[in-house]
């Protein structure tokens, strides 16, 4: 698969990615390499990764606990402390080997340790390959509010080895697929249709589609790296999706939702808002709803849940001047940003989702 050039770095694939990494290590003047893993990637991905590194540089492994609940400043503190205890300096390189939590948090740790050290993302989940590791967004949650603390800072390279997906549970594959479907919905109707026809989710069938998703996201990021306009399209489904995800994280009575499961619900509801405000057709809305429901099922929300989720919308990062702003669809493949929506329509969107 061809490398994808981005703003200041490239995304490399499969065997070729290790050649690029080793050439880069050889040509750079790093003092030491730190590899950040969680307990899952430590067991399942690190051995393969290490067997492909060809470098004499000193290497330290730092392990964090897996899961969204650990995407916190406390975890960052522990890692900053480990870097310091292990003599990390400004010429250290941090390699983030993991899913979206590891690449987001590791990128933030690197961007702030000693005012910034270089880092490389090696995504091991589908979600992180097609979204989190690409595009420079780094950060952590504040309480249960997603990604409230962070900076945009690009990695030196992204290395996508799709064979890591072979160790991923099916629900994690489905979670990543939601971001790929989103890429089709906002930019490419043909890509959406092809994804809808997928019968199985395995690394060999997905390779080319992962490449296409990264190309779609990367083109948007190159045009608008700091999310002043077009990049907001990548948030389709995420305004309600993030609020739903935060609410479920914080409520023991609710089932814990993976990111993709939450934004799938968000995309159905924001599809409804798209019909009401941006001209999306009823036919396309029903296609979107049927597709997501067939893959992700449905979450039950009580009246109380709905009100609490709507309350959480005020923390969304895209808001300004006290207004909640949405990225919504005009049609499958075309998206508009900065759309204001009445609370009444959001209640209707929940009802549409529940039917
Ligand atoms: N995940 C959305 C973005 O990177 O802009």
Beta strand 334-340 with 118-123 is unpaired
Give residue for tokens 């508009």. Answer: 336
Q: Is the pLDDT of residue 280 over 90?
A: yes
Alpha carbons 312 and 82: distance in angstroms, whole number: 34
Q: To test the ligand 1 pocket, which listed residue (103, 134, 137, 318) has its Cβ within 8 A of the most ligand atoms?
A: 137
Q: What pLDDT was estimated at residue 320?
A: 77
Which carries the bigger pLDDT value, residue 99 or residue 253?
Answer: 99
φ, ψ of residue 34 to 5 degrees: the values are -110, 130
Ligand 1 pocket residue status of 38, Cβ below 6 Å: no
Q: Is the pLDDT of residue 247 over 90?
A: yes
Alpha carbons 49 and 42: distance in angstroms, whole number: 10
Q: From ligand 1's centre to the CA of 57, what distance in Å?
A: 33
- Closest Cα to atom 2 of ligand 1: 234
Alpha carbons 8 and 155: distance in angstroms, whole number: 8
Ligand 1 pocket residue status of 100, Cβ below 6 Å: no
- Closest Cα to atom 3 of ligand 1: 234
Domain ranges of the chain: 4-168, 171-200+226-354
Residue % of the chain over a pLDDT of 70: 100
Pick the CATH number of 171-200+226-354 from 1.20.1090.10, 3.30.1330.200, 3.60.15.10, 1.10.3720.10: 1.20.1090.10
Assigned CATH topology for domain 4-168: Rossmann fold (3.40.50)
Q: Find all residues with CB under 8 Å of 217, minimum gap 6, and list them.
A: 130, 131, 134, 135, 183, 234
Alpha carbons 175 and 257: distance in angstroms, whole number: 9
Ligand 1 pocket residue status of 237, Cβ below 6 Å: no
Mean of the per-residue pLDDT values for the chain? 95
pLDDT digits (tens, 9 = 90+) for 86-135: 999 999 999 999 999 999 999 999 999 999 999 999 999 999 999 999 99
pLDDT digits (tens, 9 = 90+) for 32-46: 999 999 999 999 999
Alpha carbons 62 and 249: distance in angstroms, whole number: 26
pLDDT digits (tens, 9 = 90+) for 195-204: 999 988 888 8
Mean pLDDT of 50-60: 96
Residue % of the chain over a pLDDT of 90: 90
pLDDT digits (tens, 9 = 90+) for 159-186: 999 999 998 999 999 999 999 999 999 9
Q: Is the pLDDT of residue 316 over 80?
A: no
Q: What pLDDT was estimated at residue 172?
A: 94
| Residue 132 alpha carbon, nearest atom of ligand 1 | 1
């Amino acid at each position: 698969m061809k490398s994808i050039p981005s703003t200041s770095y490239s995304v490399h694939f499969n065997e070729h990615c290790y050649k690029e990494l080793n050439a880069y290590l050889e040509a750079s003047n790093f003092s030491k390499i730190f590899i950040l893993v969680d307990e899952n990637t430590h067991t399942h991905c690190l051995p393969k990764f290490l067997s492909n590194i060809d470098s004499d540089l000193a290497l330290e492994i730092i392990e964090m606990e897996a899961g969204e609940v650990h995407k916190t400043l406390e975890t960052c503190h522990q890692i900053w402390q480990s870097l310091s205890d292990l003599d990390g300096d400004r010429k250290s390189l941090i390699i983030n080997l993991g899913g979206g939590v590891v690449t987001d948090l590791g990128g933030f740790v690197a961007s702030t340790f000693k005012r910034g050290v270089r880092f490389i993302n090696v995504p091991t989940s589908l979600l992180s390959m097609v979204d989190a590791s690409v595009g420079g967004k780094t950060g952590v949650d504040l309480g249960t509010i997603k990604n409230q603390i962070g900076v945009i800072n690009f990695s030196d390279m992204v290395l996508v080895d799709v064979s890591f997906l072979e160790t991923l549970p099916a629900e994690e594959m489905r979670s990543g697929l939601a971001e790929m479907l989103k890429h089709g919905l906002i930019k490419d109707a043909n890509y959406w249709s092809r994804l809808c026809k997928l019968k199985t989710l395995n690394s060999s069938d997905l390779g080319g589609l992962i490449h296409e998703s990264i190309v779609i996201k990367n083109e948007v990021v190159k045009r608008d790296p700091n999310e002043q306009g077009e990049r907001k399209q990548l948030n389709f489904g995420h305004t309600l999706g993030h609020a739903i995800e935060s609410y479920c994280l914080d409520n023991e009575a609710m089932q814990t939702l993976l990111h993709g499961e939450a934004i799938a619900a968000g995309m159905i509801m924001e599809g409804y808002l798209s019909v009401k405000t941006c001209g999306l057709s009823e036919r396309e809305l029903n296609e979107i709803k049927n597709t997501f429901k067939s893959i992700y099922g449905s979450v039950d929300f009580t009246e109380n849940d709905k009100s609490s989720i709507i309350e959480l919308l005020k923390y969304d990062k895209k808001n300004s001047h006290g207004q909640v702003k949405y990225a919504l669809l005009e049609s499958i493949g075309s998206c508009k940003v900065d759309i204001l929506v009445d609370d009444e329509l959001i209640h209707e969107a929940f009802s549409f989702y529940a039917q």
